[in-house]
Chains A and B, each alone.
Chain A
Amino acid sequence: MSSFTKIIENYHWDSMQKDIYAKTAEDVIYALQKDKRTLDDFKALISPAAKPFIEQMAQKSAELTKKRFGNTMQMFAPLYLSNECQNICTYCGFSMTNKIRRRTLIDEEIQQEADYLKSKGFDHILLVTGEANKIVGVDYIGNAIDIIRDKFANISMEVQPMDQSDYEFLKAKGLYAVLVYQETYHRQAYKKHHPKGRKSNFEYRLTTPDRLGRAGIHKIGIGALFGLEDWRTDSFFTALHLRYLQKTYWKTKYAISFPRLRPHSGGLEPKVEMTDSDLVQLISAYRLLDEDVELSISTRETETFRNNIVNLGITSMSAASKTNPGGYVVETSSLEQFEISDERSTEQITEMLQERGLDVVWKDWDKTWC
């Protein structure tokens, strides 16, 4: 059985990092001039040597994105179902040791939150939980999908990693996509930031996209959480993961997200800062590596930043998000997983996108196809 663990064995963190930092302006120019780029070219494009070329990279990224995706932006909204969690993640507001009031939505509350999002125009919905298998296990999520399936065209989830059979079960209920971020591909740092709970198992998390691929889930989202380790090296490993998955589970679509560590209650200061300029460089580099991959941005990012990147590579975004269970209508004051930076309404976001020549796409799937 195919597994990314066999691939990653051949790539050592330190030597990959060294490679990236050894790239020169010549390597960057070479990568920019090609039509099809390799992972080695990607290393050059995310390297410090590419900093003077960010404008050129952004131009190319914009051009390729327009060619493949047209003048569109796919919208989605997260629906937080629960903040229960049995993991300790040093950077997360839901971490087990954080003294916050825990809440898990009941059926009626899920309905209310879903109705609200539907009324705001959303048709693609992302279900989010912490990791608490007894409270919000596969049955709970299956039930949540049953409740909302008739309302939405497209249902994704970002929850704990599961077994292949769980994914098959949820797919049959109408699940379209699963997002599961490795957080960091640096083994030791991963251990440090996830000392307790099922999430402390690096391998199980790393092989989750393999299980998703085998289960035939339509779309898989991957990524690293920036701030834990060197973002360049983590991004290289994400790209390596992407290439492996594309070759192995070739019927699946892929998406990349770029979460930067945001403040939360009891929070961790980022070890490595990723600047706006770094993030523009990275988004462009991914697009130059892959014309088809979906690139997604959340409301973690600021208004100004989001306004400026919607034309240069991003293909889907959330808007007016709440990252607390019940945050839309049920209990608006409960504690959020992380701070939202862009608090504009869906109407304001729509207007901004239209001003920039983009058609706002609410529905691009149908519940009858699952």
Chain B
Amino acid sequence: MDTLQIADKEFSSRLFTGTGKFSSSKVMEEALLSSESELVTVALKRVELDNEEDDILRHLTHSRINLLPNTSGVRDAKEAVFAAQLAREALETNWIKLEVHPDPKYLLPDPIETLKAAEELVKQGFVVMPYIHADPVLCKRLEEVGVQCVMPLGAPIGSNKGLKTLDFLEIIITQSNVPVIVDAGIGSPSHAALAMELGADAVLVNTAIAVSQNPVAMAEAFKLAVKAGRMAYNAKLAPIQQMAQASSPLTSFLHE
């Protein structure tokens, strides 16, 4: 079985999902179950931490689903570390999706604060999954401070534009020693399949499922696309045929 290992957990599904933007918690729950996703991110700011009957959490209590709290809303490293500690207390998990986006318009991640926070959170024993730009150098710097994976974006979050950062994602995938999870921008199952064909270890999809006319069916479509993309990657894609080029021989000296 082609599973994905991150820290101490092994995932059969390479489709990670989010919990935002659904029309109701009920629809969210059905869609997530239909996706067969095993890692589901939830914004700490959305959870009523002092309410054991919190509406979102109540719909996520399935043995298949592991919760991945995220720090969405924080603006710098200090706030991110605080949010992570809060999440650890409240949700009893040391996994954290690190999101630091000071810019409220495009929600683009701050690389400097993310790196600072990642370093501190690793020291504090967190399994850190940072959401970042598709920046190959930043990925290596994060790897060096001990993050468990990197989560480069395909396009601005929520934009559904697909893999606009494709060239950089390819470099990241080639160079990385930790799993690469393409996060943000994936708008359709074909985008997800392409990311998997390129060799991404997993994808994270939220808006494209939540905002679809039929989130439950779309979740299943993503499930199949991720599986298909992964199978294609493992089966090795046939290369694009190139036309033969005639040019003067370089190796005729070998036969002289």
- A71 CB to nearest B CB, Å: 15
Which residues of chain B are near A250, meaning CB under 8 Å?
A: 140, 175
Q: Which B residues from 206 to 250 make CB contacts under 8 A with A?
A: 236, 238-242, 245, 247, 249-250
Interface-facing stretch out of A29-37, A108-116, A293-301, A320-328: A29-37
Which residues of chain B are near A308, meaning CB under 8 Å?
A: 250-251, 253
For the complex, give the distance between the alpha carbons of A247 and B140 in Å: 9
Closest-by-CB residue of A relative to B256 is A304
Whether A59 lies near B250 (C-beta < 8 A) is yes
Which residues of chain B are near A215, meaning CB under 8 Å?
A: none
Q: Which A residues from 221 to 266 make CB contacts under 8 A with B?
A: 246-248, 250
Q: Contacts A59-B245, A246-B175, A247-B177: A33 and B251 contacting too (C-beta < 8 A)?
A: no
Closest-by-CB residue of B relative to A54 is B251
Closest-by-CB residue of B relative to A278 is B254
Which residues of chain B are near A276, meaning CB under 8 Å?
A: 254
Which residues of chain B are near A280, meaning CB under 8 Å?
A: 251, 254
For the complex, give the distance between the alpha carbons of A247 and B136 in Å: 11
**Can you list, as one digit per residue, whether each of B168-187 has a CB less than 8 Å from chain A (1) or not (0)?**
00100011110000000000
- B150 CB to nearest A CB, Å: 13
Which residues of chain B are near A312, meaning CB under 8 Å?
A: 250-251
For the complex, give the distance between the alpha carbons of A259 and B170 in Å: 33
Instruction: Tell whether A347 is near chain B: CB-to-CB under 8 Å.
Output: no
Number of interface residues of A (CB under 8 A): 22
Whether A33 lies near B249 (C-beta < 8 A) is no
- B198 CB to nearest A CB, Å: 10
Q: Contacts A62-B250, A276-B254, A308-B253: A34 and B239 contacting too (C-beta < 8 A)?
A: yes
Q: Contacts A34-B239, A36-B170, A308-B253: A59 and B247 contacting too (C-beta < 8 A)?
A: yes
Q: Which B residues from 105 to 158 make CB contacts under 8 A with A?
A: 140
Q: Which of B247, B251, B253 contacts A304 (CB 8 A)?
A: B253
Which residues of chain A are near B176, meaning CB under 8 Å?
A: 247
For the complex, give the distance between the alpha carbons of A54 and B253 in Å: 12
Closest-by-CB residue of B relative to A61 is B250
Whether A55 lies near B251 (C-beta < 8 A) is yes
Whether B251 lies near A58 (C-beta < 8 A) is yes
Whether B250 lies near A55 (C-beta < 8 A) is yes
Instruction: Tell whether A277 is near chain B: CB-to-CB under 8 Å.
Output: yes
Q: Contacts A36-B170, A246-B175: A58 and B239 contacting too (C-beta < 8 A)?
A: no
Whether A33 lies near B242 (C-beta < 8 A) is yes
Whether A33 lies near B250 (C-beta < 8 A) is no
Whether A33 lies near B241 (C-beta < 8 A) is yes
Instruction: Tell whether A315 is near chain B: CB-to-CB under 8 Å.
Output: no
Whether B254 lies near A33 (C-beta < 8 A) is no
Instruction: Tell whether A311 is near chain B: CB-to-CB under 8 Å.
Output: yes
Closest-by-CB residue of A relative to B253 is A308
**Can you list, as one digit per residue, whether each of A298-336 has a CB less than 8 Å from chain B (1) or not (0)?**
000000110010011000000000000000000000000
Closest-by-CB residue of A relative to B174 is A36
For the complex, give the distance between the alpha carbons of A34 and B253 in Å: 27
Closest-by-CB residue of A relative to B173 is A36
Q: Which of A35, A247, A311 contacts B175 (CB 8 A)?
A: A247
Closest-by-CB residue of B relative to A251 is B140
Which residues of chain B are near A246, meaning CB under 8 Å?
A: 175
Q: Which A residues from 37 to 71 make CB contacts under 8 A with B?
A: 54-55, 58-59, 62
Which residues of chain B are near A247, meaning CB under 8 Å?
A: 175-177
Given A33-B240, A308-B253, 20 more pairs with CB closer than 8 A: A30-B236, A30-B239, A33-B241, A33-B242, A35-B239, A36-B170, A36-B174, A55-B251, A58-B250, A58-B251, A59-B245, A247-B175, A247-B176, A248-B177, A277-B251, A304-B253, A305-B253, A308-B250, A308-B251, A312-B250
Can you report 14 A-B residue pairs in the complex whose CB atoms are below 8 A from each other? Answer: A30-B238, A33-B241, A54-B251, A54-B254, A55-B251, A59-B247, A59-B250, A250-B140, A250-B175, A277-B254, A304-B253, A305-B253, A308-B250, A308-B251
- Across chains A and B, which 4 residue pairs bring their CB atoms closest together, nearest first? A33-B239, A58-B250, A308-B253, A34-B239
Which B positions have Cβ atoms within 8 angstroms of A?
140, 170, 174-177, 236, 238-242, 245, 247, 249-251, 253-254
